[in-house]
Amino acid sequence: MRKINLDEPICSVDYAFKRIGGKYKGRIIWYLNAHVVMRYGELRRAIRDITPKMLTQTLRELEDDKLITRKVYHEVPPKVEYSLTETGAELIPFIDHLRQWGDRQIEKEKLNPILC
């Protein structure tokens, strides 16, 4: 996700989807909002179906995009904390809206929900 051509004009709906599309971005942003700050391992346990590769890759993209910040503690064992930036936090109302809509649909379709 997020290979935005700087020269080509882009429409804002398209742009926004490029920035938050991808299999795990929504959930990562959502969890970081709920927990304020989370370590790598915490995120990994929270998103059970994610592999380290995808977690790292997604976190990097979000960081490059300035939606999250990454704070490294140079100690042994290493410790890295992730949290939302202000820009990232601005997405919360929208993700929440989406989540509520998703909840209603899951109920309608009688699917098997789990908590985000």
Partner DNA sequence: CGGAATCCGTTAAGATACTG
Partner DNA sequence: CAGTATCTTAACGGATTCCG
Interface ranges with DNA (CB under 7 A)? 1-3, 21-23, 39-42, 49-54, 56, 59-60, 70, 77-80
Burial 31-57 (b: 16+ CB within 10 A, else e): bbbeeeebbbeebeebbeebeeeebee
State the nearest-atom distance from the C-beta of 32 to DNA, in Å.
13
Closest approach of DNA to the CB of residue 114, in Å: 16
Binding test (CB under 8 A) with its own copies, winner from 8, 52, 72, 75: 8
- C-alpha distances out from residue 6 to 18, 66, 100, Å: 13, 17, 34
Residues in the chain: 116
Q: Which residues of the shown chain bind its own copies in the complex (CB under 8 A)? A: 4, 6-17, 19-21, 23, 26-27, 30, 87, 90-91, 93-95, 97-103, 105-106, 111-116
